[in-house]
A and B are shown apart, each in its own frame.
Chain A
Amino acid sequence: MNNAKRFDLLRMLFAILVALLISFVLIFFISEEPLTAIFTLITGPFRSKRNLGNVVESMIPLIFTGTGVCIMFSANQINLATDGGFHLGGLVAAFVVLKFGLPGGLSPIVALFLAATAGAMFCTIPALMKVKTSSPELVSSLMLNYISQWFCTFILMHFLQDPSVGSASHKLPENSALPVIVGGTNIHVGLIIALVVAVLGYVFLYKTKTGYELRLTGENEAFARYSGINIVKVILVSQMVGGIIAGLGGGVELLGPIYPRFSWMALLGYGWDAIIICTLAKKNPLYTPLAALFLAYLRTGASIMARYTDVTLEIVQITQGIIIMLVVAEQFLSGMKHRMIAKEARASLKEEEVA
């Protein structure tokens, strides 16, 4: 690791520290029992196997959407349809396991495959619009999320609804649930799939020709074009791959042990979380599990804190926000970075004189 990279890492840790400190100060202002609250926030996740399990299981969707966003953002395609793609993936998986009547082993596989396909098709829409009409993917993908949300609600209410429970589907069949892998928790096979996806995402971006094209285009499109890279292909492929992962993530989440029925009426927000993950992971899918672990830990801690003390869950939203702002603020600690570089340069000047 060279010094610049080490500095970036330190800067990120420092940003996290500053954000936590600010959150603690806020807790002091609003809470009757601030020390208990902070203590619960930090140690809560370790208090029981179930709590620890909560941390790990809530990593799963974050790894998926985070990896997808890493790939799209690496190509500088700011596609925000991950939220909608994830939602759609969940719906398609529910539809398959409820309606297709496939045998046990096959049912979840087909469900996940089609969920991924739906996510891919969905997230490719902004890419196609960009290529054909040069509409910015940021705007079109954002709008598409609403379409996905209401489309899914429509399908749910008309085809999947269980009238006896209201706005939820019939119970998902047992034989298509993803098996739990750690007893006493809800940690399921999805974790393994997520980790495989993160690694494959890394291989795709950093070891394949297409990934190389994506990254070159993402860093400097004019340079990529001048080099002879097909920019249209990059726009399409990056967003499609991002969509595959988002859809798959939605399917995995739904078939996990947490949801007995498909009952998603509002968007779950994993698309936005993905941007946090992508920022913390510096667009490298390999680091998404770490970033997801951090975020999941923070949130689990916060929800335990909310349960046992007078501080609400939303406090972590503030923490998250501050972290992201500090991490993306290029100038944050730039004076320190400059002094470090200047020191190095001076040292090497001296070396040259000696030589």
Chain B
Amino acid sequence: MTCLEKNIILQMNHIMKIYSNGVVANEDVSIELEKGEIHALLGENGAGKSTLMKVLFGIESPDEGQIVLNGQETTIKSPQDAISKGIGMVHQHFMLVPSLTVAENIILGVEPKKKGVFIDMDKAVFAAEEIAKKYNFDIDVKEKVEEIPVGIKQKVEILKALYRGADILILDEPTAVLTPQETDELFVQLKKLKDNGHTIIFISHKLDEIKKICDRATIMRSGKSMGTYEVKDITTEDMSRLMVGRDVILTFEKEPAKPSKVLLKVRNLSVNNGQGVLKVDDLSFDLRGGEILGIAGVEGNGQTELIDSLTGLNKSYRGKIYIKDTDIEKSSIKGIRDLKLGHIPEDRMTSGCAGNLGILENLFSNQYNDPEYSGKMLLKTKRIQERSNELIKEYLVKCKSFRQNVGMLSGGNIQKVIVAREFSTSPDIIIANQPTRGVDVGAAEFIRRRLLEFRDAGCAVLLISADLNEVFSLSDRLAAMYKGKFAGMFTDVSAVTEEELGQYMLGLKHQEEQEGMIYE
């Protein structure tokens, strides 16, 4: 593209954003958008992509820097302000009202009115259909959002932004929740939008997707911009080097697994979600010491319910769960933990830590009863402090001291605190649910290596992850979970491709299944 036809629609210059916990999320970042391009914003988790976009969308205000929209310097005070200036954002986690219809969601906040007060539903449906047709989205606008699949929900989000007149569309990791097939469909749609003159910012850390669809890419690493490149001129290897700062080791050197005796036995497990939906459906499997069983699946296919049952958080399941031959039906959470089970929870902020307490307090919540750390009544403060320092050192937690509040640390360091706590009890079974989600590369690699070390030491590891790369590189056996069942179980992980696994995750493929199949 020559300079002459360059039509700059947006510039963000020298953006600096510091969060209230002192984390510098953006440090002198600049980005420039041409009209009608698909511009990738590429970087590892925690590189500052989302922050930059939050600044653009008016969710965060920058500490320094300037935004130039259509040649005019401007400040964006709020998302409403951003929308009125023609910027739309589709968040990673959908912002839809499940109990309303697609049409109602699309017009929410900008409803066509009857007599100035009442919502004109006919007009709303018409308007929604109109816009869906205009952009070639095949959607039934009268359906309730809670009844439509994830892929469609995302289309609704995009339509919502378009209906509000978005010229610039920010898509925050739009493919994270999609199967490979849904992703392809999304890409077709995005290309059409581009041909219509819309400008798209595509946030991702998946290189092949960027190669497939984007024109230019701005690469970010630890809060800084590493430059903007024409996608066709840069190789994926170079992109990944810029993104990570070194060649990523995608495969771990690992010894073949030596599975020993069964430590976790699940038989005919069924879990209801309380609203009559069967989330885990008659699942039976064994997990042995010395192996890592990976479970891949699109979010919401029963992984959470399965884990909650195994760890004692949910007691209303049917079927049997044995940990080292103990039926845990009547065991408390503590009772289960006493069987030497470690659990890295899915969402570190809601159940993994207490953000307003110090690192020390967060390191001992599962072991303060150990005679090593407490007497009959009193805590052995001195010993706990010593041990905290050891763990901080061993797990490379970047902090000022063990007194610092966990909430003040970065995501990766919070995760290290949690991992340190769960691993320091030398567990026999580890349940790792999204152990590296939103964690920087270094920390992620560290956590993965630890998991392998535990496996080699004879520990049984159950790994649930949305990161296919992770489940592929770590698992000794790999299951694809779909609608509460294992749609596929692969004992030879190298024999299955990502594409194929995707088809199992989406329920397009099923392995030959006998009633009450037990995956041993």
Partner of A226, one of B20, B27, B313, B332: B313
* Number of chain B residues close to chain A: CB under 8 A: 41
Question: B272 within 8 Å of A by Cβ?
Answer: no
Question: A4 within 8 Å of B by Cβ?
Answer: yes
Question: B1 within 8 Å of A by Cβ?
Answer: no
The answer on a CB contact under 8 Å between B365 and A341 is no
Question: A223 within 8 Å of B by Cβ?
Answer: yes
Interfacial chain B residues near A219, Cβ < 8 Å: 354-357
Question: B351 within 8 Å of A by Cβ?
Answer: yes
Main secondary structure on chain A at its contact with chain B? helix
Q: Which chain B residues (307-351) contact chain A, with CB distance < 8 Å?
A: 311, 313, 332-334, 336-337, 343, 345, 350-351
Question: B84 within 8 Å of A by Cβ?
Answer: no
The answer on a CB contact under 8 Å between B22 and A345 is yes
Chain B min CB distance to A184 (Å):
41
Question: A224 within 8 Å of B by Cβ?
Answer: yes
Interfacial chain A residues near B27, Cβ < 8 Å: 349
Chain B min CB distance to A226 (Å):
4
Interfacial chain B residues near A103, Cβ < 8 Å: none
Main secondary structure on chain B at its contact with chain A? loop
The answer on a CB contact under 8 Å between B365 and A224 is yes
The answer on a CB contact under 8 Å between B378 and A209 is yes
The answer on a CB contact under 8 Å between B20 and A2 is no
Question: A317 within 8 Å of B by Cβ?
Answer: no
Question: A36 within 8 Å of B by Cβ?
Answer: no
Chain A min CB distance to B482 (Å):
27
Q: Which chain B residues (143-164) contact chain A, with CB distance < 8 Å?
A: none
The answer on a CB contact under 8 Å between A226 and B352 is yes
Partner of B20, one of A216, A228, A341, A349: A341
Interfacial chain B residues near A225, Cβ < 8 Å: 313, 333, 351
Partner of A341, one of B18, B311, B366, B381: B18
Q: Contacts A223-B354, A228-B366, A230-B332 given: A216-B361 contact, CB under 8 Å? A: yes
B24, closest chain A residue (CB): A345
Chain A min CB distance to B505 (Å):
27
* Number of chain A residues close to chain B: CB under 8 A: 29
Q: Which chain B residues (340-392) contact chain A, with CB distance < 8 Å?
A: 343, 345, 350-357, 361, 364-366, 368-369, 374, 377-379, 381
Question: A307 within 8 Å of B by Cβ?
Answer: no
Question: A227 within 8 Å of B by Cβ?
Answer: yes
Chain A min CB distance to B224 (Å):
11
Most buried by A among B336, B351, B374, B408: B351
Interfacial chain B residues near A220, Cβ < 8 Å: 350-351, 353-355
Interfacial chain B residues near A229, Cβ < 8 Å: 334, 365
Question: B404 within 8 Å of A by Cβ?
Answer: yes
Interfacial chain B residues near A345, Cβ < 8 Å: 18, 22-24
Question: A49 within 8 Å of B by Cβ?
Answer: no
Chain A min CB distance to B103 (Å):
36
Interfacial chain B residues near A224, Cβ < 8 Å: 354, 365
The answer on a CB contact under 8 Å between B378 and A207 is yes
In the assembled complex, the Cα of A345 lies from the Cα of B357 at a distance in Å of 22
The answer on a CB contact under 8 Å between A208 and B353 is no
Question: B400 within 8 Å of A by Cβ?
Answer: yes
Interfacial chain A residues near B408, Cβ < 8 Å: 4
The answer on a CB contact under 8 Å between B352 and A223 is yes
Question: A212 within 8 Å of B by Cβ?
Answer: yes
Question: B93 within 8 Å of A by Cβ?
Answer: no
Considering the complex of A and B, which 7 residue pairs feature the smallest CB-CB distances, nearest first? A228-B334, A227-B365, A219-B354, A220-B354, A342-B18, A222-B351, A226-B351
Question: What residues make up the interface of A, taking CB atoms closer than 8 Å to B?
Answer: 2, 4, 207-210, 212, 215-216, 219-220, 222-230, 334, 337-338, 341-342, 344-346, 349
- 11 further A-B pairs in the complex, CB-CB below 8 A; given A209-B377, A216-B357: A4-B405, A209-B374, A219-B355, A219-B356, A223-B351, A223-B365, A225-B333, A226-B352, A227-B365, A229-B365, A346-B18
